[in-house]
Amino acid sequence: MNEKKKKLVYAAAFILLISSIFILNKLDVFAIKSPQQFKEYISSFGILSPVIYIILFTLVPLTLFPDSILAIASGLVFGLYKGFILTMIGALCGATLSFYISRLLGKEAIKKIIKKEINYFEEGLSKNGFLIILVLRLIPLLPFDVISYGAGLSKIKYKDFIIATLIGIIPGVYVYVNLGEKSSSPMSIEFYISIALLLILFISSYFIKKKIDVEKLKVKIKC
């Protein structure tokens, strides 16, 4: 890419970033503190709620807003099955956005977006990328968006990245959305089961993280 084209890409990406943050700010998304508040906010859009939800989930990487709050809220708003499908779509769109922002803008630009220490993957990710991303996606203790940004900085093929993401996020999305749906009846057996599933998810993630030395899969960049 020559210097002129590079400047145009940077300018377009910068405009997209600023415009998206401006829109999210105007929509008072940054004022949302809990899944319940998000439920009320999304519900206010009526029949457009599913579309607005997917758009917001897609833009989450630009704000690093907690994905878990959105996923739990989707269960409250849409129920388990619809919420699960919408969250999967939104998460894949958000992961794709992060991936290509990294691929287009490079390490220095991503460091400015994240504004903290980030990790990106070794050159070997281009060979074992599918397995590595799959393992990392199965560990919800690791930041979802940072993994997506990091993958974009590597040589992994997009196809491998997105398929591994699709499979790897299924358990976490299901647990969070299920928790959101069942939280409308906090004294029910189903709610306690959803809490138990959440604990199982995190305990499993902890042991996966201990079993597999994640740091060996990544190279650390200090911002």
Whether residue 219 is predicted with pLDDT greater than 50 in this model: the reply is no
Confidence band for 220, pLDDT divided at 50, 70 and 90: very low
Contact 223, 116 (CB under 8 A): yes
- Long-range Cβ pairs for the range 193-202 (8 Å, 24+): 201/140, 201/171, 201/172, 201/175, 202/140, 202/141
| Averaged pLDDT for residues 74-89 | 93
Q: Share the mean pLDDT of the chain.
A: 77
What is the pLDDT at residue 30?
57
| Averaged pLDDT for residues 140-165 | 85
Least confident residue range of 51-55, 103-107, 135-139, 190-194: 103-107
* Residue-wise pLDDT tens digits, 180-200: 888 877 777 887 888 888 888
Residue whose tokens read 């969070």: 176
